[in-house]
């Protein structure tokens, strides 16, 4: 089941503010509430396409940090140009979250992920596929996130994903489930 493009308040706001996608406001909501990203950070964006989270992170890093983006799909041309013009040290990895990261990457201050599986319309299947992606993100974080670093992931909420987040949360000083105001409702 293919979902129609949501053209709501956040869609139009993203267009007005020159972001590649409405999803940028989920990260902005999280940043405004928790202040997890800072200028000079090293950030890994998992599932980065089309690139709006990368665009937002570039504004925060202010040419001082580095950003590595990973996805099986390319960034939009618009996002790629905006990131290039930001002056942030940037690298794009065209690969799956389940593939090993290349050698030589830094230890990251924050790993962010707006990854979502291709949805089937079956909530149980979609939640299970989301859980697999989050498992990949957690595995990357266990190897590439600095102690005291931040992991931000999107989950399709089910009892299994909530239980898994509680288990993974034990690896961090603090763990929270948060539904940002920009969350897209079904």
Coil vs helix vs strand at 120: coil
- Burial class of residue 158, CB neighbours in 10 A (0-12, 13-18, 19+): middle
Count: domains in the chain: 1
Using CA atoms, how far apart are residues 86 and 73, in angstroms rounded to an integer? 21
Residue 68 within any structural domain of the chain: yes
Residue 178 within any structural domain of the chain: no
User: Which residue is catalytic, options 26, 42, 82, 154?
Assistant: 154
User: How does residue 186 score in pLDDT terms, banded at 50, 70 and 90?
Assistant: very low
Q: What is the pLDDT of residues 103-150, one digit of tens each?
A: 999 999 999 999 999 999 999 999 999 999 999 999 999 999 999 999
Residue 142 within any structural domain of the chain: yes
162: CATH: 3.40.50.150
Judge whether 5 counts as a catalytic residue.
no
Q: What is the pLDDT of residues 144-181, one digit of tens each?
A: 999 999 999 988 888 888 888 888 877 887 777 777 88
Residue 114 within any structural domain of the chain: yes
Residue 183 within any structural domain of the chain: no
State which residues form the domain around 55.
9-169
Residue 147 within any structural domain of the chain: yes
Mean pLDDT of the chain: 90
Coil vs helix vs strand at 32: helix
Q: Is the pLDDT of residue 32 over 50?
A: yes
Residue 78 within any structural domain of the chain: yes
Percentage of the chain lying above the pLDDT 70 cut: 95
Residue 3 within any structural domain of the chain: no
- Burial class of residue 133, CB neighbours in 10 A (0-12, 13-18, 19+): buried
- Output the CA torsion sign for 129, 135, 138, 139: negative
């Amino acid at each position: 089941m293919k979902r129609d493009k949501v053209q709501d308040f956040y869609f139009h706001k993203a267009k007005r503010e020159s972001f590649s996608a409405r999803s940028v406001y989920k990260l902005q909501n999280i940043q405004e509430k928790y202040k997890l990203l800072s200028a000079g950070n090293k950030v890994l964006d998992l599932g980065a396409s089309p690139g709006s989270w990368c665009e937002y992170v570039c504004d925060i890093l202010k040419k001082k940090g580095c950003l590595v983006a990973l996805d099986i799909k390319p960034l939009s041309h618009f996002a790629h140009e905006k990131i290039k013009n930001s002056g942030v040290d940037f690298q794009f990895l065209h690969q799956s979250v389940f593939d090993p990261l290349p050698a030589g990457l830094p230890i990251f201050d924050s790993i962010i992920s707006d990854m979502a599986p291709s949805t089937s319309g079956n909530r149980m299947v979609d939640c299970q596929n989301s859980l697999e992606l989050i498992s990949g993100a957690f595995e990357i974080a266990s190897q590439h996130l600095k102690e005291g670093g931040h992991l931000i992931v999107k989950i399709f909420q089910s009892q299994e994903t909530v239980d898994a987040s509680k288990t993974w949360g034990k690896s961090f000083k603090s763990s929270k489930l948060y539904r940002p105001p920009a969350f897209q409702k079904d």
